[in-house]
Structures are given as structure tokens and as C-alpha cells.
Amino acid sequence: MGVALKLVAQRFALGLLLLFLVSVLIFVGTLILPGDVAQSILGQSATPEALANLRRDLGLNEPALARYLSWLGGVFHGDLGTALTSGQDIATTLGRRLGNTLFLAFWAAVISVPLAIFLGLLAVRYRDRWPDKLISAVTLASISIPEFLIGYVLMYFVGVKLGWAPTVATIYDGMSIWQKLQTIALPVAVLTLVVLAHMMRMTRAAILNVMQSAYIETAELKGLTTFKVIWRHAFPNSIAPIVNVVMLNLAYLVVGVVVVEVVFTYPGMGQYLVDHVSKRDLPVVQACGLVFAGVYIGLNMVADIVSILSNPRLRHPK
């Protein structure tokens, strides 16, 4: 286990370093955003003196390095700052929004991950036959269409024409779990269609790669059925690349939901970010960007660690 633990520690340290570098990029990127937050707060009729006073009060006149170090120090203490346009505590608001985004991503993952693995196994079982071709064609079509277009199509036909689900996915604390699930049905369907193809195709490719091994031929010569060979022998030995692609798509479910949340007016982090980008509220944009980056890097790090621990040559180097 010594080699495996060393690799895990290296991945963890690399993830922290990458998060630090991303924080620098986020801060620099927000500084070069066009517009003036003081102007957006006071309006176009504000006098130059009023704008100068507000910039001083908001700390916008301080050097960029001092502002970055102050912001980074606050992040280490759990203080993400205060929204410039509303005066609300960012951490409190972001916590609620992140909870909503994770709720949406969780139910999309609950549906998409088992379905993708099942379809991948089914495609391998009927390789080069009509079920395999049908699954590949449908998933390839779903991945080729932008998610906002899928969202609007589902919204029109399923929500407006058929009336099976609400077209606006607004949830609040007083709703029951069933009401929330009914409200997020369309966003979950869009996210499932978007990430399903990646996971299914990687599952299929990983299992087909293992099916060329000698021990698979031995299992077939023992008289095992094709499904048992795939499930008992091929699938467990192809789990590492499948875990990698699953984690990447889980990261997308959290980080890449901005478009879906805007389309369905869902009160998550994506909608929160878009609203404050238009207002040039730099602390909110920086906090959202850092949380998104942390989730993405964290899930990728988990995928690397699972791949390392699932490799018997690393767990037992001798």
C-alpha cells in the first residue's frame, strides 16, 4: 500500500495547488470584466464624486494584490465576503444556492449513472446488433444537441402541450420532497440526456477493451453465458475508466448546470452567478467561481484516487 498511499498524497497535494492557481485566475479574470460595479449600484445619473466615494467604501481603490490576499485570507476562514449590490453575506446565500444545485445534480446522477451503466452493458451484450446501434445513435444524438435546445423542446412539448411537468423549476423550503421532484423533472431530464451519452459510451468502450483479454476467453470456454462473463469478469476489471468518466460527469452536473438553471429559472448557483455577473458584483462572481472550481477539482481528485486504489498492481506492488 506504500506506493498507492504516496500516489494518493501526490494527487491531493496537486489538487490543492491547482485550486490555488485557479483562485488566482478567477481573481484576475474578474478584475478585467467590463463595467463598473459602482456605476451599476448608483445608476447612470450618479455624480463622479458619489462614484469615487462608493469605490473607496467598497475597497475598489486598493491595489489588486492587497485585495487578493484579503479575499484569500477570508476564504481560509470561511468568509466569502459581502455582495456589493445587495449587502448580503455571500456564504449564507451561496450555501442555500449550492444546496439547490446539489439537489438537482443528485437526482440527475441517481437516474443517469445506473442507466448509463445498464445501457453500456446492454450495448456490449448485443454488440454490433440493432440494440447496440440504436443505443449508440440515440445517445450520440443527445450529446450533439445543446442542452438549452433540449430544455426548450422539453419545456414546450412536455410542459406546455402535455402539461406533465412545470416549465419553471422554482423550489422553496416549504415544498415537500414530492413537490420538489415534480418541479425539477424537466431540468433533471435535460441533465440526464446530456451526461448519459458520455458515461454509456465510455462504459461500452472500457468493457469491450477488457473483453479482448485471455481470461475472458477462458471464462467463455467454461460455458458461462455472455451476460455472466460481462458482469462477473469484464465489468469489475474495467471499473477504473468507468469511475473516471462518471466522476467527470458528476462534476459537470454541479459545475455545468448554469445554462439549465437559467433556462428553467432554477434558484441554484448557476442562476446566482449569472445574475451577479450582469451586475459586476465581483465578490459573488469570485465566490461562485471558486466553489465551482473546488467541486470540479475535488471530484476529479476522487476519480484519480479511486482509480489508484482499484489497481491491484499499485495496492500490492510486490
Q: pTM value? A: 0.78
* DSSP tag of 35: S
Q: How confident is the model at residue 39 (pLDDT cuts 50, 70, 90)?
A: low
**Per-position b or e across 141-159, b if 16+ CB within 10 A of its CB:** ebbeeebeebbbebbeebb
pLDDT digits (tens, 9 = 90+) for 200-241: 888 888 777 777 777 777 776 777 777 777 777 677 777 777
Rounded Cα gap, residues 148 and 308, in angstroms: 36
- Higher-pLDDT residue of 164 and 225 is 164
At 190, phi and psi to the nearest 5? Answer: -65, -50
Q: Give the chain's domains with CATH numbers.
A: 94-278 (1.10.3720.10)
Using pLDDT thresholds of 50, 70 and 90, give the confidence band for residue 163.
Answer: confident
Q: By mean pLDDT, which of 96-100, 276-280, 306-310 is the weakest? A: 306-310
When pLDDT is averaged across residues 136-157 and rounded to a whole number, the result is 84
Query: How many Cα atoms within 13 Å fall on the side-chain side of residue 209?
Result: 13
